[in-house]
A and B are shown apart, each in its own frame.
Chain A
Amino acid sequence: MVELKLTKKEAYMQQSMENIKSNTPFSEFWRKFKKQKLAFVSFFFILFLIALAIVGPFIVPYDIAEPDYNNVLTGPTAEHWAGTDAYGRDIFSRIVAGTQISLYVGLTSVFLGALGGTFFGLIAGYYGKKVDAIIMRGCDVLLAFPGILLAIGIIAILGPGLGNVIIAVAIFSVPVFARIVRSSTLAVKSTLYVEATKSIGAVPRRIIWKHIFPGTLSSIIVYFTMRIGSAILTAASLSFLGLGAQPPSPEWGAMLSGGRDYLNIAPHVTIFPGLAIFITVLAFNLLGDGLRDALDPKIKD
């Protein structure tokens, strides 16, 4: 009888222990992230886009470069789901093939920008004083130019082309990442943990990479995702303006630009590439929002 009574107490104590064990940061993140339904769906949609970017050019039903003058500017049909353009090329095939370009431009440019920004941000935040002042003034100057204008300026110097668009977008992402990483670094740096590591004589580089960098990682991931959407938009805008990808590239912005002249007779030439840009950017933005809510309670509403 006594034993039976004691189990209630023991059960209580045991349950308390389990509660402490079961909450790892990742399971906590996954639990919160799964609740963000739109972000969850976007995540899988982006995986699908990545798969499409890899295999897309091999599985498209039509050749993306070969003109077909018998089928010029036809609207959507069973054969041509999104219609054909001024050269009779299948728009659906070109959009699928273009996924590669947009994702490549978005990912590389933001990756390079994040790399540079993280480097400068960590250095500025960790060393402080003069180093910080110089890096941050540099950021101020770059941020004094509205993003896309800086990109246009850079392209004016380097000349039009997709490669230069990547460089331009990367450069104007650098100060944004540098600022975020710097402020997170300052916050992490002041924690007791890093102070303690410093006092036992760890070398700066080790402190930065082992202790400060992981602490800033969650804000980097969130901004990285959100930035990809706007990088894809910027790259498409520049291609639309004739400064990025050049025809006959199936880049979505360039395709759209090509459709402008036929807006009144064949609007589908502009509608579908634009929809592709919109949905892709929307997916990245929704994923970014979801990650922000799940990862970073500081930026959270």
Chain B
Amino acid sequence: MKLQLNGATVEAQVATLADLLVAEGFGQGKVATAVNGSFVPAPSRAGYALTDGDQIEVLAPMQGG
């Protein structure tokens, strides 16, 4: 299925948000996730089924003021 990952289109054969993170190289990284504008806590990722067209944000620590 086609997904929007951090604003870019990706073609991924995955079932859940947790699968997508592994497939896209995030592994055990310190990241937070949101799908279609709503926060998805880490413990919920494995049970969060993705569907075609979902917009996923994967955020990590960054410089800030």
Q: Do A and B bind each other?
A: no
